Structure 1
Amino acid sequence: MSMETFDVMVIGAGAAGLCAAVQAGRAGAKTVLVEKNGICGGTITMSGVNYPGIFQAWGRQVIGGIGWELVQKTLEEAGWPLPDFREFDAEHHWRNQIRIDAVLFAALADRMLADAGVDVRFHTMLAALKEEDDDWRVTLCGKDGLYEVRAREIVDCTGDANAVHMARYEYRQSNPCQPATYSVYAVGYDFEKLDVKAIRAAFEQAVARGEVKSEDVGWGEGFIGNFLYGKGGNCNHVCGINACDSAGRTRVEIAGRAAMLRIYRFLRRQKGLENLEFIPKGGECGVRETRLIVGDETVTVDDYTSGRIFPEAVCYSFYPIDLHDAEVGLDKRNLTGGVVPTVPRGALIPRNSHRFLAAGRIISSDRLANSALRIQATCMATGQAAGAIAALAAASGKDPREVEFARIRQLLLEHGAILP
Structure 2
Amino acid sequence: MKNLEYSRLLNAVGLGNRMNEPAAELEEYDVIVFGGGSAGCVAAIQAARTGKRTALVEKNGLLGGTTTVASVNFPGLFHAWGKQIIGGIGWEIIEQTVGLGGAKLPDFSVIPTKHWHQQVWVNRFIYSAVLDQLCLDAGVRLRLHEMPAAIVPTEAGNYVALAGKTGLKWFKAAKLIDATGDANIAGMMGYLRKKGEVLQPGTLINDIAGYDLADVPREQLERMYTEALEKGEVSRSRSGLYHELKVGRINMHVQGIDASDSEMKTQAEIKARAMLLNTIKLLRKVPGCENLEVRYFANECGIRETWRIEGETEVDEQSYLSGYVWPDAVCYSFYPIDLHHHSGYHIDQKFIQQGVVPTMPYRSLIPKGSDDLLVAGRCAAGDRMANSAFRVQASCMATGQVAGLAASIAADQRISVRDVPIDLLRVQLQRFGAIVPQPD
TM-score range, shorter chain: over 0.9
Which contiguous aligned blocks of 4+ residues in structure 1 show a shift greater than 3 angstroms?
Answer: 190-198
Task: Tell me which residue corresponds to 2:363.
Answer: 346
Correspondence list, 1:175-324, <5 A: 175-191=197-213, 194-214=216-236, 217=237, 219=238, 222-232=239-249, 235-324=251-340
Q: 1:43 is matched by which residue type in structure 2? A: T
Measure the CA separation in 2 of the matches of 1:190 and 1:301: 46
Q: Which residue of 1 aligns with 2:352?
A: 335
Q: 1:249 Cα deviation (Å)?
A: 0.5
Trace 1:390-405 onto structure 2 (pairs within 5 A): 390-405=407-422
2:390 matches 1:373: yes
| Structure 1 position 357, deviation (Å) | 0.1
- The answer to whether 1:93 aligns with 2:109 is no
**For 2:68, what is the secondary structure of its paired residue?**
helix
Aligned-partner SS, 1:46: coil
Aligned to 1:24: 47
SS in 1 for 2:240: helix
Cα distance between partner residues in 1 of 2:243 and 2:382: 32
Aligned to 1:385: 402
The partner residue of 2:341 within 318, 325, 346 is: 325
Task: After TM superposition, give the deviation of residue 223 of structure 1 in Å.
Answer: 3.1
Output the CA distance in 1 between the equivalents of 2:171 and 2:135: 20
Task: Provide the C-alpha distance between the structure 2 equivalents of 1:201 and 1:76, rounded to a whole number of angstroms.
Answer: 48
Q: Do the aligned residues in 1 keep the contact of 2:77 with 2:335 (CA within 8 Å)?
A: yes
**Contact 1:176/1:241 (CA < 8 Å) preserved in 2?**
no
CA distance in 1, matches of 2:328, 2:219: 53
Distance 1:103 1:340 in 2: 32
Answering whether residue 30 of structure 2 is matched by residue 7 of structure 1, we say yes
Larger RCO: 1 or 2 (CA < 8 Å, sep 6+): 1
1-structure distance, mates of 2:308, 2:68: 23
**Structure 1 residues 113 and 79: alpha-carbon distance in aligned structure 2, compared to 1, 3 A threshold:** closer
RMSD over equivalenced CA pairs, Å: 1.5
Following the alignment from structure 1 to structure 2, what is the Cα–Cα distance between the partners of residues 398 and 46?
36
Work out the CA distance in 2 between the residues paired with 1:321 and 1:403.
Answer: 30
The answer to which of 223-232 and 199-208 deviates more is 223-232
TM-score scaled to structure 1, two decimals? 0.95
* Whole-angstrom distance in 2 between the partners of 1:182 and 1:80: 22
1:52 matched residue in structure 2:
75
Q: CA shift at 1:4, angstroms? A: 1.2
Shift in Å at residue 35 of structure 1? 0.4
Instruction: Find the counterpart in structure 1 of residue 176 from structure 2.
Output: 154
Whether the 8 Å contact between 1:46 and 1:281 is mirrored in structure 2 is no
Distance 1:114 1:335, change over 3 A: same
Q: Give the deviation of 1:419 after TM superposition.
A: 1.3
Distance 1:229 1:124, change over 3 A: same
State the Cα deviation string for residues 44-74 of structure 1 (Å, max 9, x = none): 1101101111111111111111111111211
The code of the aligned residue for 2:129 comes to A
Q: TM-score, normalised by structure 2?
A: 0.91
Contact 2:39 2:401 in 1 (8 A): yes
- How far did residue 198 of structure 1 move? 3.9
Give, in whole Å, the separation in 2 of the partners of 1:226 and 1:18. Answer: 37
- Following TM superposition, by how much is the alpha carbon of 1:192 offset from its aligned partner in structure 2, in angstroms? 5.3
Q: 1:133 corresponds to which letter in structure 2?
A: E
Aligned CA distance change for structure 1 residues 62 and 278 (closer, same or farther; 3 Å): same
Distance 2:33 2:130 in 1: 19
Structure 1 residue 413: deviation in Å?
Answer: 1.3
Change (3 A) 1:336 1:225: farther
CA distance in 2, matches of 1:71, 1:352: 35
**Which residue does the alignment assign to 1:418?**
435
Q: SS in structure 2 opposite 1:309?
A: coil
Q: 1:203 to 1:364 in 2, by over 3 A?
A: same
Aligned to 1:104: 126
Mark the CA change 1:149 to 1:336 in structure 2 (over 3 Å): closer, same or farther. same
In structure 1, C-alpha distance between the alignment counterparts of 2:372 and 2:215, rounded to whole Å: 60
**Offset, 1:227:** 2.4
Q: Report what 2:90 is aligned to.
A: 67
Q: Deviations over 1:336-379 (max 9, x none)?
A: 11111010000000001121100111000000000011101101
Larger radius of gyration: 2
Deviations 1:289-320 (A, max 9, x none): 01000100100000111111111111111111
What code does the residue aligned with 2:78 have? F
Please state how far the C-alpha of 1:134 moved relative to its aligned partner: 4.3
Where structure 2 has 5 or more consecutive residues not aligned to the other structure, the ranges are 1-23
Residues 253, 79 of structure 1: alpha-carbon distance in 2 compared, 3 angstrom cutoff:
closer
Structure 1: state its 5+ residue gaps. none
Looking at structure 1, the residues matched to 94 and 366 of structure 2 have their Cα atoms a distance apart, in angstroms, of 27
Name the CA distance, whole Å, in 2 between partners of 1:243 and 1:183: 17
